[in-house]
Amino acid sequence: MVIPSEEARLVAAAKAGDSDAFAELVRNTQGDVYTLAYRLTGNEDDARDVAQEAYLRAFRSLKRFRGDARFSTWMYRITANCASTHLSRRSKGRHEELSDDDNVLDERPESDPETMAEAGVLRDRVTAALADLPPILRAVVVLRDVYDLPHDAIASELGITESAAKVRLHRARRKLRERLFPMPGEEKARAV
Amino acid sequence: MRSSRFFGSGGVSCDDVADALPAIVDGLEVAAIEVQRHVAACLRCQAELVQYRKVLRTLHQLRTEVLEPTPGLLPDILAALEAAGERRAIHHLLNGRRVAYVGGIAAATAAGAAGAILASRARRKVRLAS
């Protein structure tokens, strides 16, 4: 892992108490952090809250950042942890169902999936399908398949075991595949 | 739910393979040899594996997409950090003052004790001399 020298310099300065250096790190990573927060929470307001909380937490624990990974990767882990806390707090307040067996709404266009599989269209459909996944499945598949975090890091930040993280990942992939490319029989089963 | 009909070859059903496909699609886990044999001979499961790969490839592509944060996010974050930084500085300052205050009391106590010892020694010397 090669850390760009400018980033290493900013991290070292921020750790030494230079608040301008930390502000620069925020400027450089806020788009990525916000995007991840949005993908995990599914709405702008929650994404803002999670991003802000993530940077506050990073600021408080900066001395513990060893610098052997990219600052952005460290921020992804913190963001995932904040989003998990945020969503569980919110679901307690609103009595939302956290079950990972929720059915994903089928909003497929009428046309043949194969012909709709042009990259942009498929990306939009995957984004929509992701947003419809139950939060506990969405978190795992976003962190693993979009942001490439290892299973142990995902498990640690979400407060679950590594094997639970894998089970959720496989379930999430299956739900996405069923939503985007339903096999004969799957549509009927979902409708029941 | 798919049917539990057998396609391809061997004693493994498409249902058994369907459970394994999401795990093996990224190549990090190796499928059991019976599953590999089944997929090699079953067009239906091959098609499903291709669909999983498409989903996975598209998910990877999302990594390059960066959403535009809502206006005002950066100033809000920086303001929150500044407030947190100020709170931390005040906390340090108060802690520092507390340390200095306690240190001052300790130094004064030590000086007083030393003075008392010296005075008592001086009195003893005077008594011995007389």
Domain boundaries, chain A: 1-96, 98-192
Query: How confident is the prediction for chain A on average, in pLDDT?
Result: 85
pLDDT at B128: 66
Q: Is B115 near chain A, with CB under 8 Å?
A: no
Q: Is A89 near chain B, with CB under 8 Å?
A: no
Query: What is the value of ipTM here, to two decimals?
Result: 0.79
Query: pLDDT tens across A60-109, in order?
Result: 999 999 888 899 999 999 999 999 999 888 776 654 444 455 544 444 44
Domain that holds residue B103: 91-130
pLDDT at A5: 87
User: Is B7 inside a domain boundary?
Assistant: no
Average pLDDT over residues B59-78: 93
pLDDT at B109: 79
Say whether A171 sits in a helix, a strand or coil: helix
Cβ separation of A176 and B66 shorter than 8 Å? no
List, in order, residues 6 or more apart from A30 with CB less than 8 Å away.
Answer: A51, B69, B73, B74, B77
Distance from CA of A88 to the nearest CA of B (A): 23
User: Is B81 inside a domain boundary?
Assistant: no
Q: What is A1-96's CATH number, 1.20.1260.10, 1.10.1740.10, 1.10.3720.10, 3.40.1500.10? A: 1.10.1740.10
pLDDT at B104: 72
Distances (CA, A) of A70 to A11, A52, A74, A144: 10, 19, 6, 17
Domain total of chain B: 2
Assess whether pLDDT exceeds 50 at residue A135.
Answer: yes
Contacts of A176 in chain B (CB under 8 A): 55, 59
Closest C-alpha to B25, from B13, B35, B10, B15: B35
Average pLDDT over residues A135-153: 95
pLDDT at A146: 96
Q: Which of A52, A60, A173 sits opposite B55 (nearest CB)?
A: A173
Cβ neighbours of A189 (radius 10 Å)? 13
Range in A171-185, B4-18, B74-88 with the lowest mean pLDDT: B4-18
Report the topology of domain A98-192.
Answer: Arc Repressor Mutant, subunit A (1.10.10)
pLDDT at A109: 46
Average pLDDT over residues B34-39: 92
User: Is B42 inside a domain boundary?
Assistant: yes
Q: Which of A27, A55, A176 sits opposite B55 (nearest CB)?
A: A176
Confidence of residue A39 (pLDDT cuts 50, 70, 90): very high
Residue predicted with more confidence, B73 or B110: B73
Closest C-alpha to A130, from A188, A173, A191: A173
**Which residues in chain A (90-149) have CB-CB distances under 8 A to chain B?**
117, 119, 122-123, 126-127, 141, 145-148
pLDDT at A104: 46
Average pLDDT over residues A126-132: 93
Q: Is B93 near chain A, with CB under 8 Å?
A: no
Residue predicted with more confidence, A95 or B93: B93
Residue predicted with more confidence, A34 or B71: A34
Query: How confident is the prediction for chain B on average, in pLDDT?
Result: 83
Share of chain B above pLDDT 90, in %: 45
- What burial class does residue A7 get, using C-beta atoms within 10 Å of its C-beta: 0-12 exposed, 13-18 middle, 19+ buried? middle
User: Is B19 inside a domain boundary?
Assistant: yes
Confidence of residue B57 (pLDDT cuts 50, 70, 90): very high
User: Is B30 inside a domain boundary?
Assistant: yes
Residues B56 and B96 placed together within one structural domain of the fold:
no
d(CA A147, CA A133) in angstroms, rounded, equals 17
Q: Is B58 near chain A, with CB under 8 Å?
A: yes
User: Is B73 inside a domain boundary?
Assistant: no
